Structure 1
Amino acid sequence: MYTVDMSKAASEWDSLREEARVLGAAIDTKLHALNKYSTTGPKYKAVESSHFNRSKRSAFIQDAQEVEDLLKQLEEANRKLEVLMYKKAGGSSDQHAVRRYHDVLKDYMHEFHRVREVVEKQMDREDLLGGSTSQDGDTFLNNRNRSSELLLQEHDHITNTERMLDDQINLALGVKENLNHQQRRVGGAMQQLQKTMKKYPAINNLMQKIRMKKRKDTIVLAAVITVCLILLFLYSMR
């Protein structure tokens, strides 16, 4: 049966916990430094002295990569802690510690992705507005090309939006013109009918007589039907 040296396991457990603690502190410091990229102006002065000769974007990419490497190391340390806990049959306190380290790692990863997204969006805006500068000629040219591409994309988007608005406006104007035309036709027909009625009053009288006759016929028919129903009812009661 496989056995584990308890003293060796305890020593390894303490070593891994210390490693996780150190990595967590380093990640926390790096995340704080990354967050400063979102508060610096367009004329960027790097946070660390080794970054003075690099552009804001390249400095951020390198720092973000360092944080990502630290996160991977912390994830590996957590995995080793979990494996060791099962080997030495750790109690509830060990299980709680492993869960806490996993939660800390999850929080660090969430914060890292959030900060990276915020900073990248801000740098894109700075590039679009032409605020990002660089001492290196190639990097400066790349930034200008990127700014031009972003401006062209924005221009195309605005042009497409204007074209869609023009189409909708033209469609609405066409519908309005059609409705006005229909209204004029109906109005003309009504005016023509009124003129005809005034010109030939006999027609108006004839129409009124026809309506009166139809109304009388309806009343007579209703009376006949009612009488028939009453007679049928009386006959059925006999």
Structure 2
Amino acid sequence: MASKGSSFVTVRSEIISLESKTDSLLSKYSTFAQTSSADQSTEEKKLDTQIETLLGKTHDIIASLGNIVDENKNISTSKISQLQRHKEVYQEHQKNFRNIRSSIQQERNRLNLLFSVKNDIEQQRNFDTNEDEYIQNEAARIDQSHNVVDDLISQAWETRDQIVSQSHLLNNTNNKIMQTLQRIPGLNVLIGKISTRRRKNAVILASVITFCFLFLFLTW
């Protein structure tokens, strides 16, 4: 703020200097509206603070210049016009600053929205990929199960064929034995006698065992 007793020219020169600095910083600040990032950078934050500080100083010094004009009844019309012009420039700077800040925020919101949509698309794509992989894995497991079932069926058919083959072999062997028995005279009679003798021996053995049990029971 201008010191008490400062002249109109001195105070006005301070305002002009602040306006020039503000113009320069606003020009730099506006570039962030085209190259904004998802988050506020350190440089952007620094410029925002500097501009806000300069505008605050400009407001105070313009107020001091207004006091000088009010205190000097003989002030010229040109100086009053200059004061009014500084007020207009200050308002323009304020308006530009708000507009640039709003544009930067809108661009940042747009980028964040795009980033969010991109993330959603990537997540959906990953989900679809995982789902496809799951389906492929399930299909592979089903194919593997089918292969196991096919192997079991093949083994069952092989076992069946072996049993049928063995059955045919036994039938052929039995037929050959019967044919042999029919071809050799007296062989059937001999086999019959052997069977009869075995039955007699079995009866005799059973009788002896029964007699022994009875004897032991009676003499105990």
TM-score range normalised by the length of the shorter chain: 0.3 to 0.5
Q: What TM-score does the superposition give when structure 2 sets the normalisation length?
A: 0.47
Give the TM-score normalised by structure 1.
0.44
